[in-house]
Amino acid sequence: MQTAVYDSASTRPPASGSVAARAPRSRAAATRAILDTALLAEQIATAFYYRALTTPAILRTPQLAGGSDDPNDPGLPPQGDPHHVRYLQAALDAEAKHMALLHGAGARAQVHRVYFSADAFRHLGTSLQPHSFLGALDRLETESVGLYLAAVDQLARLGQLDLAQLAAELGAVEAEHRMLGRVIAGITPANNLTLEREPFANVDAAQAALRPYLTGKGLHGRALAVAIPTGAQVARVVGKYGTHRVQRYM
Question: Which CATH number characterizes residue 100's domain?
Answer: 1.20.1260
> What does the pLDDT read at residue 17?
40
pLDDT value, residue 12: 40
Asked if residue 84 is part of any domain, the answer here is: yes
Asked if residue 37 belongs to a domain, the reply is: yes
Asked if the structure places residue 149 within a domain, the reply is yes
* pLDDT number for residue 25: 77
Is residue 122 included in any domain, yes or no?
yes
Has residue 11 been placed in a domain?
no
Longest Cα–Cα distance in the chain: 61
pLDDT of residue 248: 60
* CB-count exposure of residue 76 (10 Å: 0-12, 13-18, 19+): exposed
Q: Which helix (DSSP H) or strand (DSSP E) does residue 225 occupy? A: strand 223-227
The reported pLDDT for the residue numbered 28 is 96
Quick one: residue 239, left, alpha or beta (phi over 0 = left, psi -120 to 50 = alpha)?
left
Task: List helix spans (H) across the chain.
Answer: 19-22, 27-53, 56-59, 82-105, 133-157, 161-185, 203-215, 231-238
Question: What local confidence, expressed as pLDDT, does residue 245 receive?
Answer: 76
Residue 166 CB partners (closer than 8 Å, separation 6+):
101, 105
Residue 116, H or E segment: strand 113-117
38 contact partners, CB below 8 Å, separation of at least 6: 102, 107, 147, 148, 151, 167, 170, 203
Give the pLDDT of residue 15. 42
Long-range contacts for 130-137 (Cβ within 8 Å, ≥24 apart)? 130/220, 131/220, 131/221, 133/52, 133/58, 134/181, 134/182, 134/184, 134/185, 136/48, 137/48, 137/177, 137/178, 137/181
What is the total count of domains within the chain? 1
Q: pLDDT tens digits for the chain (250 residues)?
A: 444 444 433 334 444 443 334 446 799 999 999 999 999 999 999 999 999 999 999 999 999 999 999 999 999 999 999 999 999 999 999 999 999 999 999 999 889 999 999 999 999 999 999 999 999 999 999 999 999 999 999 999 999 999 999 999 999 999 999 999 999 999 999 999 999 999 999 999 999 999 999 999 999 999 999 999 999 999 999 999 999 877 664 4
Distance CA 204, CA 225 (A): 24
- Domain membership of residue 15 (yes or no) is no
Domain of residue 230: give its range: 23-238
For residue 95, being part of any structural domain is answered with yes
Q: Are 111 and 5 in contact (CB under 8 A)?
A: yes
Say if 17 falls within a structural domain.
no
* CB distance 203 to 37 below 8 Å: yes
List the beta bridge partners of residue 227: 113
